[in-house]
Amino acid sequence: MFVYKLFIFILTISATVASPSGPIQTFKLNDGRDMPGFGLGTWLGFISTSGNSKSQEVENAVKWAIDAGYRHIDTASIYDTEDQVGNAINKKIAEDVVKREDIFVTTKLWNDAHGRYSVLPALKNSLKKLNLDYVDMYLMHWPIAQYLNGTFYDVDYLETWEAMIAVQKKGLAKSIGVSNFNKAMLERLISNSSVKPANLQVELNLNLQQPELLEYCKEQNIVVTGYTPFGSIFPNKARSEAPPPRVDDPKLVDIAKKYNKTVPQIVLRYLVELNIIPIPKTITKSRVEQNIDIFDFKLTQEERDLFKSYDTNYRTIEPKMWQESPYYPFEMK
């Protein structure tokens, strides 16, 4: 067992890339490709998607991110930020700051395109907006099939997955994976398809650490990306019932001071030490730079135990309105 785990460890943490403060680990995917262990999120929140693309804020953030050493950008067709992400990457390529192969781009298939003949056109549409020839990772955003107006339709995610395997074979997505799948769904997917997902993207933060799911993915050699890494630490974003801690928690402030870091930085550091890939979102230049500056220190076991104690299985992203779907992935409330 130990030898097996050591093997997986060597397999997953195989290489490193430079960051301003030290090496960022790179994960070896089960399809042989590499995935940078830290990325930038680009979801602007549950606001009307019309009009986002006219603003430059995501494009600027991605440019600052690339300058600061980020090599992994997370977007999705539903975020309506693919065009800005693509503009930023293409400009940085034109300026010779990076080459296309240096940047790992993830985008996601929305719920309205789960039919077997809808996946290829949806990805082509994303590539057109990104103005790229391929994405590095294409994720099924949710296991749920639903029209844009919210009505569910009945397509099994196994069928959607077969169409995702086909777009990978075409080279339009170098790797494929899923998001918001629970363990039972992953098991069913793995035992009924020819290609195992390379990546699972799920919510992971102090209040939702999902140790069992992480253990299962480790066994299956599926690399895990953690979304909404800050969870409820910011008082202006937290729901009133959200469990502690907040960013001004004295214990966290003390740990941050010890390392000359901020509380958001030590939270991200903890997630990195769980061997998952955090993808914090910010459109603020100083925060873009701050968030990646976490690779020059290590938490102690005692500190990790404190972080672990905040795990209350509390979900920040919980689309209860989708509970009617037969493929709703979370506990019913």
Ligand X SMILES: *[C@@H]1O[C@H](CO)[C@@H](O)[C@H](O)[C@H]1NC(C)=O
Ligand Y SMILES: NC(=O)c1ccc[n+]([C@@H]2O[C@H](COP(=O)([O-])OP(=O)(O)OC[C@H]3O[C@@H](n4cnc5c(N)ncnc54)[C@H](OP(=O)(O)O)[C@@H]3O)[C@@H](O)[C@H]2O)c1
Whether the Cβ atoms of residue 280 and residue 268 lie closer than 8 Å to each other:
yes
* Site track for ligand Y across 157-196, x = CB under 6 A: ----------------------xx----------------
Q: Which does 149 bind (CB under 5 to 8 A by kind): ligand X, ligand Y, none?
A: ligand X
Binding flag, residue 218, ligand X (CB under 6 A): no
Cα–Cα distance measured from residue 75 to residue 107, given in angstroms and rounded to the nearest whole number: 5
Is residue 49 at the binding interface for ligand X, with CB under 6 A as the rule? no
Residue 21 corresponds to which tokens in the numbers above? 């403060």
From the list 22-30, 82-90, 155-163, 279-287, the region that binds ligand Y by CB under 6 A is 279-287
Q: Residue with the closest Cβ to ligand Y?
A: 41
Shortest distance (Å) from residue 155 CB to ligand Y: 18
Which residues are designated catalytic? 79
> Could you write out the DSSP letters of every residue in 184-253?
HHHHHHHHT-SS--SEEEEE-BTTB--HHHHHHHHHTT-EEEEESTTTT-STTTS-TTPPSP-TT-HHHH
- Cβ distance to ligand Y smaller for residue 116 or 237: 237
Q: Taking contact as CB under 6 A, which single stretch among the options 22-30, 35-43, 182-190, 301-309 is the one that binds ligand Y? A: 35-43
Dist. CA 121–CA 117, nearest whole Å: 8
201 binds ligand Y (CB under 6 A): yes
Count of residues interacting with ligand Y (CB under 6 A): 25
Among 163, 166, 108, residue whose Cα is nearest residue 135: 108
- Please count the residues of this chain forming the interface with ligand X, following the rule CB under 6 A: 8
Q: Which of 49, 56, 125, 284 binds ligand Y (CB under 6 A)?
A: 284
Q: Which of residues 247-276 bind ligand Y (CB under 6 A)?
A: 264
By three-state DSSP, how is residue 280 classified? coil
User: DSSP letters of 40-86?
Assistant: EE----SS-STTGGGS-HHHHHHHHHHHHT--EEE--GGGT-HHHHH
Q: Is 141 annotated as a binding residue?
A: yes
Which of 147, 257, 284, 324 binds ligand X (CB under 6 A)? It is 147
- List CB contacts of 139: < 8 A, sequence separation 6 or more: 76, 106, 107, 108, 109, 176, 177, 178, 179, 199, 201
- If one asks whether residue 192 binds ligand X (CB under 6 A), the answer comes out as yes
Sheet order of strands, 104-109 included? 40-41, 72-74, 104-109, 135-140, 173-179, 199-203, 223-227, 277-278
Asked if 209 touches ligand Y (CB under 6 A), the answer is no
Residues in the annotated binding site for substrate:
141
Site of interaction with ligand X (CB under 6 A): 147, 149, 151, 187-188, 191-192, 260
Binding site for ligand Y (CB under 6 A): 41-43, 74, 141, 179-180, 201, 227-230, 234, 237, 264, 279-284, 287, 290-291, 317
